[in-house]
Amino acid sequence: MKVLVTGTPGTGKTTFSQALSQAIQSRDRSVQIVQVNDIIKSERLYDEYDEHLDTYIIDDKKVRKYMEGHFSDIKSDFCVIETHTVTTVPKKCADLVIVLTCRTDVLYDRLQGRRYGSDKVNENMECEIMRVILEEAHERFGAQRIQELASNTVEDLEDNVEAIIELLF
Ligand code: DAT
């Protein structure tokens, strides 16, 4: 079972993916977290690095091709794929798509806390306000596979893990 966790940077993908993976393991099932960003960097699946926005310019097709091969090697019961670029994930690599969303005031504080430059903060704030990733996920994977979850508080995190565990087991 492959679970894609996506959302604007700062919405809580890493935090949620780790909590979900722990909950899966505590039910005696194996799980692997795949961080698409790490793969893009380690396998050099990008075209260039944009210094101004502190971001990699990605060749989606190249990443999807690599991901297809990568997934055929994964033997764990569950795979949690984490990325904010849904277009890098092949359609068959996500049975369930979780889109985390965040209140703008909460997200702003989290992004500021990362000491991002103002352009990068603004870009990500706009991405969240315009619901860009949610829309891309709908286009790519269809509404039936998508769960949109609010990710503002620790209570949200606990509720979200519980809700997804109920769906998966
Ligand atoms: P992402 O992986 O989407 O970039 P993250 O998991 O690194 O986001 O989280 C960004 C920050 O927000 C980090 O300091 C942890 C915190 N955080 C994440 N989810 C949260 C939640 N549901 N409630 C409170 N804080 C949260």
- pLDDT in the model for residue 86: 96
The per-residue pLDDT for range 108-146, each reduced to its tens digit, is 999 999 988 999 999 999 999 999 999 999 999 999 999
CB contact set of 27 (below 8 Å; sequence gap of 6+): 165, 169
pLDDT band at 53 (very low <50, low <70, confident <90, very high): confident
Which residue's CA is minimally distant from atom 17 of ligand 1?
12
Asked whether the predicted pLDDT for residue 95 surpasses 90, the reply is: yes
CB contact set of 50 (below 8 Å; sequence gap of 6+): 56, 57
pLDDT band at 151 (very low <50, low <70, confident <90, very high): very high
- pLDDT in the model for residue 106: 98
Ligand 1 centroid distance, CA of 154 (Å): 9
CB contact set of 135 (below 8 Å; sequence gap of 6+): none
Residue 140 and residue 157: Cα distance in Å, rounded?
Answer: 25
- Chain centroid offset of residue 91 CA: 14
- Helices and strands (DSSP H and E) totals, the chain: 7, 7
The per-residue pLDDT for range 17-44, each reduced to its tens digit, is 999 999 999 999 999 999 999 999 999 9
First vs last C-alpha separation in the chain: 11
Average pLDDT, the chain: 95
pLDDT band at 74 (very low <50, low <70, confident <90, very high): confident
- pLDDT in the model for residue 115: 86
The per-residue pLDDT for range 58-71, each reduced to its tens digit, is 999 999 999 998 88
- pLDDT in the model for residue 123: 95
pTM across the whole model: 0.96
pLDDT band at 55 (very low <50, low <70, confident <90, very high): confident
Determine the residue of 4, 14, 15 to mutate for testing ligand 1's pocket, defined as the one with the most ligand atoms within 8 A of the Cβ atom.
15
CB contact set of 102 (below 8 Å; sequence gap of 6+): 7, 8, 10, 11, 12, 110, 128, 150, 151, 152
Q: Which atom of ligand 1 is nearest to the CA of 82?
A: 2
